[in-house]
Amino acid sequence: MGMIRQNIQMMISEEEIRQRVKELGRLIEADYSGKDLVVIGLLKGVFPFFADLVRAIDLDFHVTFMRISSYGFDLESSGKVKILQDIDTQISGKNVLIVEDIIDTGQTLAMTLEHLKTQSPASIRICVLLDKPSRRIVDVPVDYVGFSIKDVFVVGYGLDAREMYRNLPYIGIFHTESNLVT
C-alpha cells in the first residue's frame, strides 16, 4: 500500500475498493446482459474507478467520456456546472451507464442527466464510487453505490484537493490546518 500522507487519514483501503468494484461489476453485468450499453465516465476524478470498473464488467459495451466542471481549483463546489467535453458516441436508443467518482449536492449529475436525456437513450442509470447523502441538494436517482460516506473532504483514487492526491490507491479524509483531527 502507498505511503499515508501526513494530512490524510485513511478512510477506505485499496483492498476494500478492489472488492467493492468487483461487486459493482457483477451487479452491472447482471442488469445489462444482452443489452446495448454505453458507459460514460465523468472526468477527471473518475479515471481510476472507471478503469477498474469497466475491467470488472464482463460484457461488450461502448466507452466514452464527458468532462464536467463544478469545482475549478476550489475545495468546494461552485454550484455552477459546465460541460467542458461532451460525449463522442451516439446514445439514441441505447442503455447508458454514467460513472462518477462522487455525488454530494447532486447538481453535476442532475445537469448531466438532463443533457443526456435530450439524446433519447433507452435508459440511463448512474454508478458512483462515493455517495455523500447528507450534502444532497438535488434528488438524483443513483443505481449503484460503492460506498456511502459522511460529509468529509476526501482524496485519493482519483479524487483530488486542488488537483493533487489523485494517484493515491486508497481514499482518505483530507485535513487542512483548519480541520485537523487529532
The CATH code belonging to domain 8-179 is 3.40.50.2020
- Residues 86-105 pLDDT 10s: 999 999 999 999 999 999 99
- Model confidence, pTM: 0.89
Q: What is the pLDDT of residues 142-174, one digit of tens each?
A: 999 999 999 999 999 999 998 899 999 999 999
Residue 25's nearest CA partner among 101, 109, 129 is 129
Question: Residue with C-alpha cell 458507459?
Answer: 39
Quick check: is 104 catalytic? Answer: yes
Grid cell for residue 143:
443505481
Q: Which is catalytic among the residues 52, 101, 104, 131? A: 104
